[in-house]
Amino acid sequence: MSNYTLLNEFILLGIPQTEGLETLLLVVFSLIYLFTLLGNLLILTAIISSSALHTPMYFFLGLLSIFDILFPSVTCPKMLFYLSGQSRAILYAGCAAQLFFYHFLGCTEGCLYSVMAYDRFVAICHPLRYMLIMKPGVCVGLVLVAWFVGSIQATILTFFTFQVTYCGPNQVGHFFCDIPAILPLACTDSSTAQRVGSTNVGFLALMLLLSVCVSYTRIGIAILRIRSAEGRRKAFSTCSAHLTAILCAYGPVIIIYLQRTPNPLLNAVVQILNNIVSPMLNSLIYSLRNKEVKSSLKRILYGNVPETAEGNYVILCINHLR
């Protein structure tokens, strides 16, 4: 990449229109980041420590917690570093790495949401064959496919973003290196990179969202066929947390990459929600709305709480046959 540029670093200007608020932002984002790490680590520990949670559903939920730890860690530490009064400079290679891992983890997590939607579809629509379909090898294969798609997407976006020449200015009007903030600094024509970026991100997000909609349409039809109101309520409650997390994940992507005229302040606010706040909310969403996770957390924190499989996902879904 160094052959294509005269710059060796960029300057991150941070969140627009927040001059003089660095101390306040440092405290707020430090607390959110710390809570994100602790919340997702607790969920991951709860899943690993409880044998009742060693099922495909919680395997994917554990992976989601790992991504919710890694994803904000791509951008948040550097932002906290310069909010504390340190240098805002980021090396050219560091900027490229930040962009790559941001899209790699974001895309892989989007694929994981689709996999989790498929897992729920199988459990509710084919409960008697659930364990046969969602075998350990199948679950691992689906995760590997998600990682592969994420790596290909991130490689393409990073290559096209940094194959153009950057010879100045080097001030990035954002709090991290992302395509809409970097490409306007190019000295050569960046229209191809802009088209590739918006098309790839938009198309993949649309396909993943469509796959989720297909799975949940089938799930909705199956839930409506459940005779008892209690059965419908329980079946819906197992999916509501996942649907909430999907809305938090895809909403920012649609706003940022599909808008015709970028708004720096709006983009920064939405990216903060996507990068920092959403991973924190996921830990709350899945811990507060899941009896098994809460029960496992109580055993970790307080001890002497009996392990239960009361809300076991497959058993719950079989109820719709009654």
Each domain of the chain, given as residue ranges in start order, spans 2-321
Q: What contacts 287, CB < 8 A, 6 or more positions away?
A: 39, 42, 43, 293, 294, 297
Beta pairing, strands 9-12 & 171-172 = parallel
Q: What pTM was estimated for this model as a whole?
A: 0.85
For each of the chain's 322 residues, which pLDDT tens digit applies? 444 446 789 999 888 888 888 899 999 999 999 999 998 998 888 888 888 888 898 899 899 999 999 999 999 999 999 999 899 999 999 999 999 999 999 899 989 989 998 998 898 888 889 989 999 999 999 999 999 999 999 999 999 999 888 887 889 988 899 888 899 888 888 888 888 887 888 788 888 888 988 988 888 888 887 777 776 777 676 677 677 777 777 776 666 666 666 667 777 787 888 888 888 887 777 766 667 777 777 777 776 555 544 344 444 443 444 4
CATH number for domain 2-321, candidates 1.10.3720.10, 2.30.40.10, 1.20.1070.10, 2.60.120.10: 1.20.1070.10
Q: Provide the 8-state DSSP code for 9.
A: E
pLDDT for the residue numbered 307: 52
Question: Could you tell me if 176 and 105 are in contact, meaning their C-beta atoms sit under 8 angstroms apart?
Answer: no
Angle at CA of residue 208, ends 288 and 316, nearest 5°: 40
Vertex 321 angle, CA 316 and 322, to 5°: 95
- Residue 251, exposed/middle/buried by CB under 10 A (0-12, 13-18, 19+)? middle
